Homo-oligomer: A and B are copies of this chain.
Amino acid sequence: MARHITIGAAQLGPIARGESREAVVKRLIALLRQASARGCELVVYPELALTTFFPRWLIERGPELDAWYEPEMPNAQTQPLFDEARALGIGFYIGYAELAVEDGKTHHYNTSILVGPDGEIIGKYRKIHLPGHVEPQPGRDSQHLEKRYFEPGNLGFPVWDAFGGVVGMCLCNDRRWPETYRVMALQGAELVVLGYNTPNDHTGDGAVDGLSNFHNHLAMQAGAYQNSTWVVGTAKCGREEGSLMIGQSAIIAPSGEIVAMATTLEDELVTARCDLDMSKVYRETFFDFARHREPQHYGLIVERKGVGPALNKKAA
């Protein structure tokens, strides 16, 4: 058995602060046409793929800040992307800043959508693991104010029957947390798609920051392997408004192997023909959850948010 789907990771180089959504959408469409020429059925774009990574600046609440968000999707600027995708018969994943009105209140989310080859939105995800800070940190060239500009997502980690398989989404920092993949895998996810913007000065400690590319792949490869799922992670990268962000967008098999990887920090498409049935051998051996998991011992994972005392501590 084999269920093949050809997937493209459509990496973006930097987007300047002044670059319009129209200009970005042209870049997205150029990548989409390349993807079509290479037989892709699904294209994965980055997180916050329509604008520069604005959480690097302190911006007061108000019109200047709100201009970075999309009140609806598609909208006038992005409609050409939806139209082109439908014309080519290619589905896509894309991230953007969402301004939502719910229960009469305005909310801000870091959001992604999955769009079918018919141009219709299949599902929406709102980023749960927001990195960074609420307040600007002293002494940093670039801030990381996602916790200021977004609320944690309120849609959980859903999965959808799509593209001949079961597909889940997440965003950027979510990929570092094993809970992300696990909750989707427990719903049968066979493919997890995600975008990221990862500045490589996250901690300010050179010994740590120098490992940014390694950590990016380590987390995604472990997520793929430990959950028997394909993972496609796509970067917005390069030196964007003075902040250098990592690339190495990757398509990762359920074996944890990287089967396609970008090597530039520019707009670049990498593709792979992915057999969704490749996960079977892992699901039926190492990671046959129903046979091997022991959830009665996992309670702390949901009972605690942070580190707490040892359950059974004995002094040495």
Say yes or no: is A310 at the interface (Cβ < 8 Å to chain B): yes
CB-defined A-B contacts under 8 Å, sample of 14: A122-B314, A123-B314, A129-B294, A130-B292, A155-B312, A186-B300, A186-B307, A187-B300, A219-B226, A290-B307, A291-B306, A293-B306, A298-B301, A302-B302
- The reply to whether B178 and A310 contact each other, CB–CB distance below 8 Å, is no
Say yes or no: is A179 at the interface (Cβ < 8 Å to chain B): yes
In chain A, residues 109-134, which have Cβ atoms closer than 8 Å to a Cβ of chain B? 116, 122-123, 128-131
Residues of B within 8 A of A294 (CB): 128-129, 152, 305
Say yes or no: is A15 at the interface (Cβ < 8 Å to chain B): no
Shortest distance in angstroms between A96's beta carbon and chain B's nearest beta carbon? 20
How many chain A residues sit at the interface, stated as a range, is 35 or more
Q: Find the residue from A122, A205, A281, A285 having the highest chain B CB count within 10 A.
A: A285
A residues neighboring B (CB under 8 Å): 116, 122-123, 128-131, 152, 155-163, 166, 173, 176-179, 182-183, 185-188, 202-203, 205, 207-208, 211, 214-215, 218-219, 221-222, 225-226, 255-257, 281-283, 285-295, 297-316
One of B156, B225, B293, B300 near A219 (C-beta < 8 A)? B225
- The reply to whether B225 and A300 contact each other, CB–CB distance below 8 Å, is no
Contacts beyond the supplied A159-B313, A188-B309, A211-B257: 16 A-B pairs with Cβ under 8 Å: A158-B310, A160-B316, A161-B315, A173-B292, A178-B222, A178-B226, A182-B300, A183-B300, A186-B301, A186-B306, A187-B300, A208-B255, A215-B256, A283-B307, A295-B303, A301-B302
One of B122, B166, B177 near A293 (C-beta < 8 A)? B177
One of B281, B289, B292, B302 near A295 (C-beta < 8 A)? B302
Indicate whether A158 sits within 8 Å of B290 (C-beta atoms), given known contacts A225-B215, A226-B178, A298-B301: no
- The reply to whether B285 and A305 contact each other, CB–CB distance below 8 Å, is no
Residues of B within 8 A of A152 (CB): 294
**Interchain CA distance A185-B9 in the complex, whole Å:** 33
Residues of B within 8 A of A304 (CB): 186, 289, 295
